[in-house]
Structure 1
Amino acid sequence: MSEKKVTFKDGKKKEDDGEKEVKKVTFGGRGSRKNQFCSPTGVAVSESSEIFFADSLNERIVVCNTRGKVVRVFNTKVKRQLIQPHDVSVDKNGHLWVVATLFEVKRKAYIRRNMLAQFSKQGRFLTKIDLPLTGVTGGIGVRTDIGHIRVQATSEETTSKKKKKGGETKENDGLEKFTNSVEVVVTDQRTRMHERKGYSESCVTVFTPEGEPVKVVGPRNTRKPTGVAVNQKGDLYVTDSWLHCVHVFMEGREVTKKYKKFGRFGSGDGQLDSPHGICLDLKGNVIVVDRGNWRVSVFDSEGKFVRHIMTDMPDLCAVAAGPNFLVVTCVGHCGTDTATIIPYSNDK
């Protein structure tokens, strides 16, 4: 494979890792060996173009280069306990943030806990944030300009109230900024029964690192959020596999008044069927895994359809963008569990 070189004034040459020529390659397959996956439900790309896979059922992170070669593997251990990573993202400091589930048995009872864990790129555990008891955890995204972390999961109990100094509570419908801190966004996919019918009560809740709720968005809009991405402004792009669309929650104090969505059910241009993974490229285009239509679709930042890529590929799950390539994972019931790297241009 040919690689581009960068020549400096002093005559020295240095490899530009982010501009290497990328060829389409598919690798993996179900298993527990170093070069295999078992439910790779999340993927992220670092600034140096290293690719990180959340190998969920193998309870580990697999790191590959742009040729699909495994560079290193490390188990996702939190205080000697293995956790199942569901998605992974990289912050501005190069640290990994993993949204995961811990299964344990206490007093003959089966206990499930959800958390956000931070690791170094080499796999050293740094810190964790316990999330409210949830059913199914989902996606995670990073706002790279200030290092805010936004996590999507499935919660059983959320609230939109926060404590004041005097012990009182107030409705928190605005936005609070926590400079250089972590913002945890948890989606609630509860379904309540009323007159023998199920009603979704999904929403997206933002928590501080201490677990205190900051704001709630989307309680009247979302049904089954599955993936999340954040742009430089702090706008949230959330895929909804039940409503077959992408919700956009724009940064601002009155979040509910700054809401829009794009996409609808169907197989035509600009239509979606059970969208899942989502990410943004360097120009702010929105890349959506159109799982039901076996393809990946590209929209601009305003939701206007641009083009389809990677058509006719079943079991698509997660997607991440590098400087000149895309990475998608396939998670199926028939042992698919593969990853594919393809060349990608940010130009429309």
Structure 2
Amino acid sequence: MPTTSHRRDSIPQSTPSPGSTFTSSATPPMMSSSASSAETPARVPRQGSASDQTTLPRNTLSPSPSAAAAAAAAAEIAESPTKQRDYTQIHKARYSFGSEGSGRDQFDSPWGLATNKAGDLIICDSCNHRIKIHGVDGQCKQTVGVEGRKCGEFYAPDAVHVTDDERVIIADTGNHRLQITDQNFSEFSTIGIRGIEIGEFHEPIGVVLVNHSVLGPCFAVADNYNHRIQVVPCSGETGYAFGTEGSGEGQFQYPSGITVYHNRLLIADENNHCIQVMTVDGEYITSFGSQGSAFGQLCQPHDVTTDAYGNVLVVDHGNGRVMVYATETYTPLAEFGKGELDKPMGVCVTSEGLVAVSCDGSHKIFVF
């Protein structure tokens, strides 16, 4: 078991009915924005989700106190001579949104998050078993999904990735599969069941789209409990996996977040307390970070992403911060979030350069 307990023991270990590896549903289950549920211990999945979706019309949304802060932050970055974010100048979050619960503006253990071309945040509301779409100013626009095993339903979704063509790829972790949908969340398909063979997963926690020189577009998946990375061709062809459990080069102990930059995979190797850099074919290149709390060290890194300039942002879960490393050299540049981030889990960078971080402990999203 990973040393970060989170709510792993609460994920059922029964295997969903396999059926076909690829399935689809034209009408996904929906979720209400006014759902409520009984109190449960922290990070234990709540029982009884609501049964209809709400897409919130803009004219029904109350003014957001964060809207001005979001606009001001984006304008400040845009006016920078280099157009790059100076991460050394981040001292505290601009604002945050969310609280614990199952209501429209609430979260229960938000984990992975990503941003789309419209600048919205797509957030895995893990223990509410749903996906939420928020403006970067915090306004909730839509909720999708209910607890379940059918196509378009979720059990503890932990990661999300948005492709260049606006497909949304969701690591439906408790159901041991990926779900793929369009930007409107109108149709879903699934890949995978629980298992150890190629094309099977045991709690996938990270996913990113990569281009393979032979197989073409593929999903690279952090197959957490199988201690490996799987590469799954979008074409439906048989893929491959690399990595075994261990602490050597190219070995993993609970890989979680994963991203790609210049066709290099950056993998958050959580219980080895480092980021491993590898080719899409599984060749080890280098790693950075070591266990500790000093500047540049890591303690259970859970997610990793890059900005438009290749700077690497790592969710340093155990140290309650985000570490920033230079592109290519991977030397530490900056840290931020200490004292604010309670069990940070996911990170993404918007097109304006704002950094959003999800926190499992406070059930909030922080924007820097």
Instruction: Flag whether TM exceeds 0.5 (same fold).
Output: yes
What's the counterpart of residue 163 of structure 1? none
**Alpha-carbon distance in structure 2 between the residues aligned to 1:187 and 1:225:** 7
Distance 1:299 1:206 in 2: 26
Structure 1 residue 224 displacement after superposition? 2.0
Which aligned pairs between 1:11-160 and structure 2 lie closer than 5 A? 24-75=94-145, 79=150, 82-84=153-155, 85-101=157-173, 113-133=175-195, 134-143=201-210
Whether the aligned pair in 1 keeps the contact of 2:228 and 2:242 (CA below 8 Å) is yes
Tell me the equivalent position of 1:205: 230
Q: 1:318 aligns with which of 331, 340, 346?
A: 346
Displacement of 1:321 after TM fit? Answer: 0.8
Q: Quick one: distance in 2 between partners of 1:3 and 1:262?
A: 32
The C-alpha deviation readout for 1:306-347, integer Å capped at 9, x for no partner, is: 111112222111111113201101102xxx2111111xxxxx
> Hey, what does 1:238 align to over in structure 2?
267
CA contact (8 A) 2:322 2:337 kept: yes
CA deviations on 1:80-139 (whole Å, 9 max, x unpaired) are 66212211110111121101046xxxxxxxxxx421111222221232212443443311
Query: When the two structures are aligned, how many residues end up with a matched partner?
Result: 273
Q: Is the 8 A contact 1:204 1:218 kept in 2?
A: no
Q: 1:296 to 1:81 in 2, by over 3 A?
A: closer
Deviation string, structure 1 residues 8-58 (Cα, Å, up to 9, x no partner)? xxxxxxx99x969xx812111111101001121110011221110011222
TM-score between the two structures when normalised by the length of structure 2: 0.67
The answer on whether the counterparts of 2:173 and 2:204 sit within 8 Å (CA) in structure 1 is yes
Counterpart CA distance in 1 for 2:117 and 2:320 is 28
**Shift in CA distance, 215/137, structure 1 to aligned 2, threshold 3 Å:** closer
Q: Contact 2:266 / 2:277 at 8 angstroms: preserved in 1?
A: yes
Matches within 5 A, 1:256-275: 256=283, 258-275=284-301
The AA in structure 2 aligned to 1:44 is A
**Equivalent pairs: percent with the same residue?**
22
**Distance across 2 between alignment mates of 1:94 and 1:277:** 21
Task: Tell me which protein shows more strand as a share of its residues.
Answer: 1
Are 1:282 and 2:308 matched, yes or no?
Answer: yes
Distance 1:32 1:49 in 2: 24
Cα deviations by residue, 1:154-184 (Å, 9 ceiling, x for unpaired): xxxxxxxxxxxxxxxxxxxxx65333x3334
Take 1:285 and 1:36, find their aligned partners in 2: how far apart are those partners?
A: 31
1:189 aligns with 2:225: yes
Structure 1's unaligned 5+ residue stretches are 6-14, 103-112, 149-174, 191-201, 343-348
Give the direction of change, closer, same or farther, for the CA distance of 1:266–1:308 in structure 2 (3 Å limit): same
Distance 1:52 1:218 in 2: 31
Shift, 1:186, TM fit? 4.2
Letter aligned with residue 82 of structure 1: E
Shift of 1:236: 0.7
